[in-house]
């Protein structure tokens, strides 16, 4: 009996010692903190009177009530946007905007793409030479602040300039004998083509944000309402041309170049929406493809 008690005590002592010893150096090492979010980008200059600091403009999310507008209603033309509404305001690091630097040393989120477009060495790192060339492009295109930061507005402008003459060079939008409104979510551009001839655009757009993506695939313009007003968000949607539930082409009285997208609609400047109104008609086909950056 005495031997059994002694063996039991020894076993208990050994278990206690094992429990007190760390299992390994790795388990005792401190856990490194999770990486923080990327630095926030903000408009580099104060927006104009119709270009608020707000990053979003709500759109109609639910299918509208379809009716036939009266001749009197159709005769009313939506108001134009005030001067400065669609100014090209680049998004830059907050500290750079406050300091009003003339040529930034910061690497932008589209550094490599911008370098490649400008014929610079595409190493994805900002240099003094890069800044001077990017800044010259921004000055020429009226992008403010022209501090050489390779931001989303600068890259968007480059994509637009590349697409103006032949937006369907990659053949992503199907060629048909009838008009097709082509919506390229990846490049945030749209145009209308009939056969291989482009009859409208290409023009910049703003499509659906994350969680409210503009639906891809084939659609059809099923209702046009020149003076539509969103009862859901209490906001004007001039020259609305609905093609998928509550998603429509329409003008907005604010910048297209925001950090977030619409609630699903394809936003255009009021001037572009007005011109598109004269190109499309009820029954015309719409083809949407790609994916808006960030969604």
* Catalytic (active site) residue 257: no
Could you give the CA distance from residue 105 to residue 116 in angstroms, rounded to a whole number?
18
C-alpha distances in angstroms, 43 versus 23, 29, 53, 90, 151?
52, 42, 8, 6, 10
* Catalytic (active site) residue 131: no
Set 219, 225, 228, 250: catalytic member: 250
Set 131, 173, 182, 265: catalytic member: 265
HEC profile of the chain: CHHHHHHHHHHHHHHHHHHHCCCCHHHHCCCCCCCCCCCCEEECCCCCCCCCCCCCCCCCCCCCCCCCCCHHHHCCCCCCCCCCCCCCECEEEHHHHHHCCCCCCCCCCCHHHHHHHCCCCCCCCCCHHHHHHHHHHHHHHCCECCCCCCCHHHHHHHHHHHHCCCCCCCCCCCCCCCEEEEEECCCCEEEEEECCEEEEEEEECECECCCCCCCCEEEECCEEEEEEEECCCCEEEEEEEEEECCEEEEEECCCCCCCCCECCCEEEEHHHHHHHHCCCCCCCEEEEECCCCCC
* Residue given tokens 């020429």 in the structure block: 140
User: Which residues are known catalytic residues?
Assistant: 250, 265
């Amino acid at each position: 009996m005495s031997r059994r008690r002694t063996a039991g005590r020894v076993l208990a002592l050994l278990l206690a010692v094992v429990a007190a010893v760390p299992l390994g150096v790795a388990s005792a090492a401190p856990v490194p903190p999770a990486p923080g979010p990327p630095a926030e980008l903000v408009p580099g200059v104060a927006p104009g009177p119709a270009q608020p600091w707000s990053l979003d403009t709500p759109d109609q999310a639910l299918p509208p009530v379809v009716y036939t507008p009266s001749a009197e209603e159709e005769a009313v033309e939506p108001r134009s946007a005030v001067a400065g509404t669609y100014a090209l305001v680049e998004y830059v690091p907050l500290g750079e905007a406050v300091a009003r630097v003339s040529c930034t040393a910061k690497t932008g989120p589209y550094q490599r793409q911008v370098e490649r477009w400008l014929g610079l060495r595409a190493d994805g790192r900002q240099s003094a030479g890069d800044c001077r060339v990017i800044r010259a492009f921004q000055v020429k295109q009226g992008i403010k602040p022209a501090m050489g930061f390779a931001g989303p507005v600068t890259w968007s402008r480059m994509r637009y300039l590349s697409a103006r003459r032949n937006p369907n060079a990659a053949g992503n939008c199907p060629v048909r004998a009838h008009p097709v409104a082509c919506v390229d979510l990846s490049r945030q551009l749209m145009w209308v083509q009939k056969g291989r001839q482009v009859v409208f655009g290409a023009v910049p757009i703003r499509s659906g944000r994350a969680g409210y993506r503009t639906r891809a695939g084939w659609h059809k313009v099923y209702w046009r309402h020149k003076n539509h007003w969103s009862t859901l968000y209490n906001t004007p949607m001039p020259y609305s041309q609905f093609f998928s539930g509550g998603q429509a082409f329409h003008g907005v009285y604010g910048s297209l170049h925001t950090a977030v997208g619409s609630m699903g609609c394809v936003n255009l400047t009021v001037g572009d929406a007005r011109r598109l109104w004269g190109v499309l008609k009820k029954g015309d086909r719409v083809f949407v493809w790609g994916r808006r950056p960030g969604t």
